[in-house]
Amino acid sequence: ETGVTQTPRHLVMGMTNKKSLKCEQHLGHNAMYWYKQSAKKPLELMFVYSLEERVENNSVPSRFSPECPNSSHLFLHLHTLQPEDSALYLCASSQDRAAGEEKLFFGSGTQLSVL
Amino acid sequence: QKEVEQNSGPLSVPEGAIASLNCTYSDRGSQSFFWYRQYSGKSPELIMFIYSNGDKEDGRFTAQLNKASQYVSLLIRDSQPSDSATYLCAVPSGGYNKLIFGAGTRLAVHP
């Protein structure tokens, strides 16, 4: 396995369900990210973890709960989502460097549909 | 809120022509700039980054940065149909590990 892998690739869930998205990076990086990509909108940064500590929480509703157990794994736990949360959720990683040198490597994403 | 602006396109160019993609940003303190390419149904991939004023060339790609005017552009020479994709401009917002993306410009290269 190389790069950044995300599972599942597609997810359909009801508003009362609980599900989790998984991300694993095989690049030896020490920073990991969750981004949301909705149609016709820019990528939105949701969470940033650096050295397994959350360093950014971009005003994301509490129905999204991230978890970073180690520098290679990142989860996004989902519960009581809304239809407007339907989007492509992208995980990314980078090697933590000086600010302004963040080169992100993205996973293939999870296409989420909330019914 | 720091902003990154791009024309959504589509920008249509014939095969072999030069495609010019532009991006403006609002944070005067930004020091580095990134271009990502995203094919339909795929995730973004980094293709160019530039830190200094002027031009940076990598194969058929040239990034141009003008900090005084707060714009960065991407030129693609000898455009190929395989270059058809959405091109995303990204700028650090000033926060650590925080990249802000533009909405992207869709490029269509026709034979």
Question: Cβ distance A110 to B46 under 8 Å?
Answer: no
What integer pLDDT is reported at residue B35 of this predicted model?
96
**pLDDT score of A1:** 55
- In the predicted model, residues of chain A with pLDDT beneath 70 are 1-2, 97-101
- b/e sequence B81-110, b meaning 16+ C-beta within 10 Å: eebbbbbbbbbbbeebbbbbbbbbbbbebe
* Residue A103 at interface with chain B, using a CB cutoff of 8 Å: yes
pLDDT the model gives residue A90: 97
Hey, how many other C-beta atoms are within 10 angstroms of the C-beta on A60? 17
| CA–CA min distance B39, chain A (Å) | 11
The predicted structure's pLDDT at residue B63: 95
Average pLDDT of span B66-80 = 94
pLDDT at A58: 74
**Can you give the pLDDT at residue A101?**
67
Residues of chain A neighbouring B99 (CB-CB closer than 8 A): 45, 102, 104
pLDDT digits (tens, 9 = 90+) for A54-83: 777 778 999 999 999 999 999 999 999 999
A50 touches chain B (CB under 8 A): yes
| Alpha carbons B20 and B73: distance in angstroms, whole number | 7
pLDDT band for B32, please (50, 70, 90 cuts).
Answer: confident
Helix, strand, or coil (residue B52): coil
pLDDT at B97 over 80: no
Residue B51 has pLDDT above 90, yes or no: no
Distance in angstroms (rounded) separating the CA atoms of residues B45 and A36: 16
Q: Is the pLDDT of residue B75 over 60?
A: yes
Q: Do B95 and A33 touch (CB under 8 A)?
A: no
pLDDT value of position B106: 96
What pLDDT is recorded for position A98? 62
Query: How far apart (Å, rounded) are the C-alpha atoms in residues A60 and B74?
Result: 32
At residue B96, the pLDDT reads 61
Contact A1, A105 (CB under 8 A): no
Quick check: B100 contacting A, CB < 8 Å?
yes
Q: What confidence score (pLDDT) does residue B34 get? A: 93
Q: Do B99 and A96 make contact, defined as CB atoms within 8 angstroms?
A: no
Any idea what DSSP says for residue B81?
G
